Structure 1
């Protein structure tokens, strides 16, 4: 995405449905340019057109995995590297489904003496090639779209473990600290991961703030450490301060 795309999306997430004319004035470009931007972002399912303007997309269906995998890659990479740098040798982890958690897995490939439980076949594939990382893969239903493993068997599997660190991703963070996702089956697995982890680390880039999804996963108060790419927005700071969560910001290079 271009910087203008990001500004456009940030404005809509903060203010809701917005007219083409208002966006053009805000960004200092023509309405034709804004309409072109809107078409590109709508194709990526990052926003939706309504009569007279544009707004946030569906709350019931996530963006395609292949599109998410190439979105904000630099931010996710920095988050993944910072998260991995916090993991000491000899730790046990559970890593769940998500493109940001996969960046954590990439950054963990050189770690020694860690054990990783995961319901993400992409994470398992990334880490299984390292001779110093032991990987345990959950059983259950494999979703073809992203190779995530979900279902009752996955929940039962996760409840066999008590790990040092659970590393999770989410699809949305509301200003009151509510954590959201799209698939209730995935949410139930993530809730089990939270229960079975002595510490819970949330890895998510700034675009997750103000993004709405259908299913409530939990609250920021259940998180011990939040690793992101930009400071927490002012409108969400009260919830984060009340929760006492440690916030780490991965700086741009």
Structure 2
């Protein structure tokens, strides 16, 4: 039977909290943080993993919901207002008659909803949910990348959609990621998602990164790219000074969603 958080000891609860916030935790760092041996931390991680609260890896663990990227409905409701503001801000950036790639994720789905009444859009996506959204549009043309569909969130991931996406060169790509480090690294948990994101980065003239403030100062094991490759960052709150410095150094426009809607 799975343990509840109330049945964990204080250190295990703290480890779980750190993992939830950061996405990934290492045995070495946790041992230093709690002033215990690495063996003790490994036992804690094994216990949390056995109860499906963490997913252990060599040298550390991922937050279980992070690896699964949360249940779809839970992610959809997380930072819901912020995602809507971000989506509306993106819709102001993208003009009618544009071509655009939208990747997987609940924020990009909100963007699709905000773009629904644009005219003459050509949309490429690896997200079945986005196809369903644009089914309500009278004139949007939509291309869905083929491949294996992940049932949990209707994402098409893996090698097949990358080949499809690389055929295009669109005006805009709107992408979300799981984690953004203070060093500018854009990261995700699943290699099958990462390779699709990399293909999208190469297939657009202007790259828009959408990220609510929960994505900053997090960690994930797979690197997609660096924020220096982005043209526009749309978020609900200013990121850290380190990220702002990288953006300024690379002429990346930072759009605060609320400000853009005033």
Using the size of structure 2 for normalisation, the TM-score is 0.74
Shift of 1:60: 4.6
Question: Is 1:130 matched up with 2:137?
Answer: yes
Distance (Å, rounded) in 1 between the aligned partners of 2:244 and 2:229: 16
Summarize deviations over 1:196-217 as a string: whole Å, max 9, x none.
1011100110110011111101
Question: Is 1:162 matched up with 2:173?
Answer: no
Instruction: Select which of 87, 105, 118 maps to 1:111.
Output: 118
**Helix, strand or coil at the partner of 1:251:** helix
| Contact 1:171–1:213 (Cα < 8 Å) also in 2 | yes
Question: Is 1:80 matched up with 2:87?
Answer: yes
Shift of 1:239: 2.1
Distance (Å, rounded) in 1 between the aligned partners of 2:68 and 2:195: 17
Aligned to 2:71: 64
Distance (Å, rounded) in 1 between the aligned partners of 2:138 and 2:206: 25
| Contact 1:204–1:227 (Cα < 8 Å) also in 2 | yes
The answer to which of 72-81 and 123-132 deviates more is: 123-132
Aligned to 1:244: 251
Question: Is 1:221 matched up with 2:243?
Answer: no
| Contact 1:110–1:132 (Cα < 8 Å) also in 2 | no
The answer to which of 233-242 and 74-83 deviates more is: 233-242
Aligned pairs, how many?
210
Aligned to 1:148: 155
Aligned to 2:189: 182
Shift of 1:61: 4.6
Let me know the Cα RMSD of the aligned residues: 2.5
Shift of 1:151: 1.8
Summarize deviations over 1:162-201 as a string: whole Å, max 9, x none.
1010110000000010001111111101100110101110
Distance (Å, rounded) in 2 between the aligned partners of 1:218 and 1:199: 15
**Helix, strand or coil at the partner of 2:63:** coil
Using the size of structure 1 for normalisation, the TM-score is 0.76
Distance (Å, rounded) in 2 between the aligned partners of 1:79 and 1:175: 21
**Helix, strand or coil at the partner of 1:241:** helix
Summarize deviations over 1:199-239 as a string: whole Å, max 9, x none.
11001101100111111010001100010101122243222
Distance (Å, rounded) in 1 between the aligned partners of 2:143 and 2:219: 32
Task: Return 5+ residue gaps in structure 2 as ranges.
Answer: 1-16, 23-28, 35-47, 55-61
Shift of 1:62: 2.5
Aligned to 2:98: 91
